[in-house]
Structure 1
Amino acid sequence: MQRIFGNIETGLILKDISFEVKSGQVLAILGSKGSGKRALLDVISRRAHGATRGQIIFQGSPLTLNVFQRNCAYVTHRSDLIPSLTVQQTLYYAANLCPTDKVSSSAYARSSRVRQLVGELGLNQVSNHSVASLNTSQYRRLVIGVELVKEPVLILLDEPASGLDPLSTYLIISMLSSYARRKGRAVILTMEKPRSDVFPFLDRAAFLCLGDILYTGPTRLMLDYFTSIGFPCPRMENPLMYYLCLSTVDRRSRERFLESNAQIQELVDKFKVEGSAYVAAGGGGTAANTPIPPPSIAPPPSFSAGHFDAVKPSPFLIFFTLYSHVSLRLGLFPLYSLLIFLMFFNSQVPEHAMVNRYGILLFSIWGAYLMSIITTAYTFGAFRTRYYQEAQADTYSGPLFLISYLLFSLPFSLATVAAGSRIIFQVSGLNGSSDWIVFGGVLWACYLVGEHQTIAILMVVRSQFKAVVSSAYLSVIYFVLASGILRSYAGLPEWLLYLSYGSQAHYAGAALSHRLLGAVPSPTSSSMIGCRYAENSHHFAQRYHATASSSVDYNLCLALAFPAIFALANCLLYIMPLPSFVKAKFRE
């Protein structure tokens, strides 16, 4: 495999790699950082971006991307699950994404498979806990379970035990070994620091160094091979770690680097000459010509990991993590509206009515934008990241993901704006259901525009805070220049006035101004001292220019049309291929 940057080949990453793994076996790819372990898994999973040469044979046929996606699974080093779902819900979600020919379409069969897998993963005690409340070991097991529920014939795992304590490492490797033997599946995993207690669970091993193979074959023959070439493993030493150190370049000095590199190259050349018999040698598992059994419901393994999960979060923490997203979606805008209500309660003094209505107008529209931006940034990110990771397996398309999310979020946005607008409506001076429908409809349109705009930004920006700042900054620009609230249209340059017609804030500000400001009584003769406008019609003509002649229904319809346009634009954005460095931010 060669890594390509632009049109320039930067060097070989993998060099003449050849190994074999059979059904029922666990193969460990061992190597230090930079040895090429992840690159090798990317080649096998058909995700490598560089130029590759050679063949990968799967059940007697070349392994194509489509074949891998349907029959294999890849647990990457980083996998972000949806934090608000429970353990069982996460597994149900993964099972429902599987093709019906892999996992039974029967709800009972899927439910049985999920319950069985929860037991196999040692997650019984946290099955109803949210993903956000899991510890590192539980989370790692759940990530593996998300792929195991799809019943893969071959499963690849990139550093499944990285950062785990010895007990959790032992649990995961033993669980994978048990799964491979019971189901007749093949497991390939990478390890950087193998422990001696996992040695019995590894049927085969492959030592990598700078893209070269020093040894690949059964672990039970590994000691014999290295002894035969003059490198016996000392007694009481971990053979996996000993030979991994042997295959690691010493970078502490130039002399040691050259010496260790020459020794490693000698071992690589020696294995090419003498190691061919070990590559295809047996090593446990199922015979090569034995057909792989179909998925079946099997009893859970004899070991249990329940006692490893003794630390339980409090009921309040479980409730908070499960419903924090729902609370944010439903409660943020009404809470903001309550603050506006308290600000303007009992402040409708006649001579200050116009000023108060302007304040309500400003805080209502801007609040709808800002609360939507904050809510979307802190709830959509988890779904976005999960989509980018699942898109690597071609599970579903970008537009389908976005449409599903919008259908899910639409009732929440309607409910929160209905509640919030009703609270502000009490101090707006308006009366009647028709006024509230217009008032709430305009705020809902602003809320949806803020949501879709933030979704578009989150497509390329990973940080939630940066997404909030960027989206809010854009909203400030067209709110100030196009709404007519902070700056009248009469004072805008002609070119900027015409540009404002392309902004949703233009129609939202005009529609609410008609309702809110048009309902203010015209100044009386006793209160006209210092007043610029003798009649409210003069105010509209001066501040809103030609827009004052437009009907409320016209402006409301145009304000509601903008979210539909934004949603369509986002669907088109999710069809467009993104540069790999953008997608890599959310995948690895």
Structure 2
Amino acid sequence: MIGSDYVLEALNIYHTTNVDGGSCFSGDSTSALVLKGVNLTLHSGEVMAILGSKGSGKRALLDVISRRAEGRGRGSVLLNGAPLTKNLFQQRCGYVTHQCDFIPGLTVSQTLHYTPTILSGYLKSSKVRQVLADLALSQVSNRKVENLTVSERRRLAIGVQLVRDPVMLLLDEPTQNLDPLASYLLISILSNSAKKTGCGILLSMEKPRSDVFPFLDRALFLCLGGAVYSGGTRAMLEYFHNIGFPCPQLENPLMYYLCLSTVDRRSRDRFLESSQQIEALVERFSRETNLSDSPPAANIIGKIPLAYGKPSEFKIFGILFVRLLASTFSCGMSGIKTMFLRIFALPTLLSILWIFYSNVGDDKHGFFSKNSMVLNILGLSYGAGILTTISLFPIWKKKFIQENFEGLYSGVTLLLSYNFYSIPFSFISSAIAASVIYPMILDPSNLDTGYPFIYILIAIWTSYMLAEQLSIFFLFFIKSSINAVVATSYILCVLITLGSGTVRSWKGLQPILQDVTKATSHSHYASALLHSAIFLSRRMSCNPKNANPSIVCPSPKEFLLERIGSQNFTNEYIDISIVFAFAVGLAFFNMIVYLLPKKNIKNA
């Protein structure tokens, strides 16, 4: 419940955006004036609609108020007389964009409960129950978000903001694609919530129906960036009547004056005539209207708690971590899909190797078959990491973009929680995968050391984590998940080709490539672990029955020296440290990348 009166003012707003133009090579751009001296005033507990056709500047005005607009502008946006900065808006206001993404697998109640706020425990649960009741979502509180209707999803997106107790709430086209009954229900709910909590509601609409007119306290008509009218809906009828445009009886006032404020593009003559009429209306409104109906801002300055609604990063880390776990262990197809990808995708892929390598012996042919097995183990481990990340991470990236714009947390907090959640699953999956292929590549009765299983597990686990982190890196810059897969796969294929000693032997590389791959290729050290575990832990020899006397069968040490440039496994701790360093180092590098300005991130 908001205990103070708040006034949101936008005064003389001009805004110019850059529009791409010219040739595709020159990169020229032109400036377009999208807002021209727009004014509005919104009080606590009121609902105000921004009305206009497409291209009138509705979304641009919302972006200017929410401090998300890109481009140049002038004018003032004030909250209780104080400049509404981006930080102040994030802490005290909310913005429901047209596209809102939810985490699949979570219920409606969980989605609200895992929204980062300063509330916790009983207070958080009470607030969630209140929002569910206010938005008529109590009946579907235990329903998965992927099973909601369009109307329910729209109300849930509003609830995600209301649970943070904003003093002003902006909504971009909340009734778009809703049927008349759902639109009426949504606007009536917003009106009741505004009156109950004292939150000011500012929403944009393109085709308002007459039944929503009683719920609107104020209206702003925009056309081509100019304000035809801004003020109370009751005073609107009197204003237009006085300037010679009375609303006919039985007409919807909102649609009537919206049509009056819309450019007629059916012909050139009508376009010119309607444009001149609208320019005259904008000019007359700016000349005749006195926008002094708000209380003096000086009377309420100082009532804005600037540090409100900002939970600590540690608390947000815990909320994100529990949110990840809840989505994974949820009942339903989404939870089953996530659990399969997290636990069983890697073992399933490596099980395919049984078809090709279950009968490979220890003869001379087995040397090269085991070598190709290393190549496939690395490739499938990388592939499982890519598959899992590309399938699951994009929705978390979308949610991060939305919540980062709201100032809730940074990319470091997101990746810390995601990695802490992912590492145990990847370890369990890698352990199962290592157990699957261990009997195939090693005969326990023919072992000279007890560590091969650990080396195989580490090689698989770090390969999976490296592919996961590399996919997360490319998803920051690449919009399409398929393109991110291609980019990640290309890099890993190059690393395997040059550094693993499987496609090409280590001695077959130029000295400069040997140095480069040794410094940059995770696959070189992971391959060394796998090769050494397979060859140095077993007594491989030529099969006497099939051996050709003219061919000298190499020893395992000679074969390893040729393929990976090492005769023995005396530096196992160094190799283990290096493979972990590649994966962990890339994870820390991603945290730095995700701190870049969000205009660089591609929203899939």
Alignment match, 2:463: 446
Structure 2 Cα separation of the partners of residues 545 and 322 of structure 1? 45
Given the alignment, which residue of 485, 488, 501 partners 2:505? 488
Structure 2 Cα separation of the partners of residues 7 and 250 of structure 1? 30
| Deviation of the 1:112 alpha carbon | 1.3
| Deviation of the 1:160 alpha carbon | 0.8
**Equivalent AA in structure 1 for residue 203 of structure 2:** L
Q: Which runs of 5 or more structure 1 residues have no equivalent in the other structure?
A: 283-287, 296-316
Alignment match, 2:101: 80
- The answer to whether residue 542 in structure 2 is matched with residue 542 in structure 1 is no
Structure 2 Cα separation of the partners of residues 461 and 323 of structure 1? 27
- The answer to whether residue 366 in structure 2 is matched with residue 353 in structure 1 is yes
Checking the alignment, whether the CA contact within 8 Å between 2:505 and 2:563 is kept in structure 1 is: yes
Structure 2 Cα separation of the partners of residues 374 and 260 of structure 1? 55
What percentage of aligned pairs have identical amino acids? 40
- The answer to whether residue 162 in structure 2 is matched with residue 148 in structure 1 is yes
| Deviation of the 1:321 alpha carbon | 2.1
Alignment match, 1:382: 395
| Deviation of the 1:233 alpha carbon | 1.8
Alignment match, 1:554: 574
| Deviation of the 1:361 alpha carbon | 1.4
| Deviation of the 1:257 alpha carbon | 1.2
The C-alpha deviation readout for 1:130-150, integer Å capped at 9, x for no partner, is 222222211111111100000
**Equivalent AA in structure 2 for residue 37 of structure 1:** K
**Equivalent AA in structure 2 for residue 470 of structure 1:** A
Alignment match, 2:194: 180
The C-alpha deviation readout for 1:182-210, integer Å capped at 9, x for no partner, is 11111000001111111111111000011
Given the alignment, which residue of 151, 167, 172 partners 1:137? 151
Given the alignment, which residue of 559, 566, 569 partners 2:589? 569
Structure 2 Cα separation of the partners of residues 565 and 355 of structure 1? 33
Given the alignment, which residue of 438, 441, 449 partners 1:428? 441
The C-alpha deviation readout for 1:170-193, integer Å capped at 9, x for no partner, is 111111100000111110000011
Q: Secondary structure at the match of 2:164?
A: coil
Distance 1:524 1:170, change over 3 A: same
Given the alignment, which residue of 40, 46, 65 partners 1:25? 46
Q: Provide the alpha-carbon RMSD of the alignment.
A: 2.6
Distance 1:8 1:359, change over 3 A: closer
Distance 1:537 1:113, change over 3 A: same
| Deviation of the 1:408 alpha carbon | 1.1
| Deviation of the 1:565 alpha carbon | 1.1
- The answer to whether residue 525 in structure 2 is matched with residue 504 in structure 1 is no
Alignment match, 1:301: none
Q: Which runs of 5 or more structure 2 residues have no equivalent in the other structure?
A: 1-13, 19-26, 309-329
The C-alpha deviation readout for 1:464-494, integer Å capped at 9, x for no partner, is 2221122112111111111001111121122
Structure 1 Cα separation of the partners of residues 338 and 42 of structure 2? 44
Count of matched residue positions in the alignment of Structure 1 and Structure 2: 550
Q: Secondary structure at the match of 1:21?
A: strand
Given the alignment, which residue of 353, 367, 381 partners 2:380? 367
Distance 1:204 1:348, change over 3 A: same
Given the alignment, which residue of 253, 265, 274 partners 2:288? 274
Structure 2 Cα separation of the partners of residues 86 and 556 of structure 1? 42
Structure 1 Cα separation of the partners of residues 368 and 338 of structure 2? 36
Given the alignment, which residue of 476, 483, 490 partners 1:473? 490
Given the alignment, which residue of 262, 268, 272 partners 1:258? 272
Q: Secondary structure at the match of 2:44?
A: coil
Checking the alignment, whether the CA contact within 8 Å between 2:17 and 2:33 is kept in structure 1 is: no
Structure 2 Cα separation of the partners of residues 240 and 2 of structure 1? 26
Alignment match, 1:393: 406
The C-alpha deviation readout for 1:331-382, integer Å capped at 9, x for no partner, is 2112112222344334447564324422431221111100100100111111
With normalisation by structure 1, the TM-score equals 0.88
**Equivalent AA in structure 1 for residue 535 of structure 2:** L
Structure 1 Cα separation of the partners of residues 331 and 280 of structure 2? 56
Checking the alignment, whether the CA contact within 8 Å between 1:430 and 1:516 is kept in structure 2 is: no
**Equivalent AA in structure 1 for residue 148 of structure 2:** L
Alignment match, 1:322: 335
Alignment match, 1:310: none
Distance 1:270 1:488, change over 3 A: same
Checking the alignment, whether the CA contact within 8 Å between 1:331 and 1:416 is kept in structure 2 is: yes
Distance 1:253 1:224, change over 3 A: same
Deviates more, 1:82-91 or 1:476-485: 82-91
With normalisation by structure 2, the TM-score equals 0.86
Checking the alignment, whether the CA contact within 8 Å between 1:528 and 1:534 is kept in structure 2 is: no
Checking the alignment, whether the CA contact within 8 Å between 1:3 and 1:9 is kept in structure 2 is: no
The C-alpha deviation readout for 1:80-138, integer Å capped at 9, x for no partner, is 222232211111111xx22x3xxx44x01111111221222222333222222222211
Alignment match, 1:311: none
Q: Secondary structure at the match of 1:251?
A: coil
The C-alpha deviation readout for 1:37-81, integer Å capped at 9, x for no partner, is 111111111222222222222123222222211111111122222
Checking the alignment, whether the CA contact within 8 Å between 2:42 and 2:200 is kept in structure 1 is: yes
Alignment match, 1:15: 36
Structure 2 Cα separation of the partners of residues 547 and 574 of structure 1? 42
Structure 2 Cα separation of the partners of residues 293 and 351 of structure 1? 79
Alignment match, 1:459: 476
Deviates more, 1:145-154 or 1:214-223: 214-223
Q: Secondary structure at the match of 1:16?
A: strand
Structure 2 Cα separation of the partners of residues 322 and 224 of structure 1? 57
| Deviation of the 1:439 alpha carbon | 0.6
